[in-house]
Amino acid sequence: MTAVPTNEGSETTAGPTRRQQLEHHLKTCPTDRDGYLELASIYREENRPLQAAKILSQAHETFPDDAALVWELEEAQLARSVQQLVEVRDLAARLGNSSVDHELERATTDWGNCRLKVCRARLGRDPSLTYLHMVLGEALYDLERYDEAIDELEPLLDSETHSPGAYLLTGRCQLLLSKDMAAMKSLRQASIRRAVIGPAKTRSAALKLLIDLAERHGLNASLQFYQQSLQAIP
Q: Given this model, what pLDDT does residue 98 score?
A: 78
In angstroms, the Cα distances linking 176 to 41, 163, 171 are 41, 20, 9
Q: What is the pLDDT of residue 194?
A: 84
Q: If the chain, 234 residues long, is cut into consecutive pieces of 10 residues, what is the mean pLDDT of each piece?
A: 45 66 94 96 95 97 96 97 95 82 92 98 96 98 98 95 96 98 97 90 97 96 96 92
Note the CATH number of domain 1-118. Answer: 1.25.40
Q: What is the pLDDT of residue 93?
A: 86
Give tens-digit pLDDT for 137-178.
999 999 999 999 999 999 999 998 999 999 999 999 999 999
Distance CA 187, CA 191 (A): 6
CB-hemisphere CA count at 13 Å for 2?
A: 14
* 130-234 CATH fold: 1.25.40
Q: How far is it, in rounded angstroms, from Cα 38 to Cα 35?
A: 5
Spans of all domains in the chain: 1-118, 130-234
The region, left, alpha or beta by phi > 0 then psi within -120 to 50, assigned to residue 126 is beta
Q: What is the pLDDT of residue 92?
A: 87
Give the pLDDT of residue 173: 98
Q: Which one-letter amino acid corresponds to residue 26?
A: L
Residue 87, amino acid: E
Domains 1-118 and 130-234 share a fold: yes
pLDDT of residue 96: 76
- How confident is the model at residue 208, as a pLDDT? 97
How far CA 123 is from CA of 68, 130, 154, 179, 185, in Å, comes to: 15, 8, 15, 30, 29
**What pLDDT sits at residue 97?**
74
Its pTM stands at 0.84
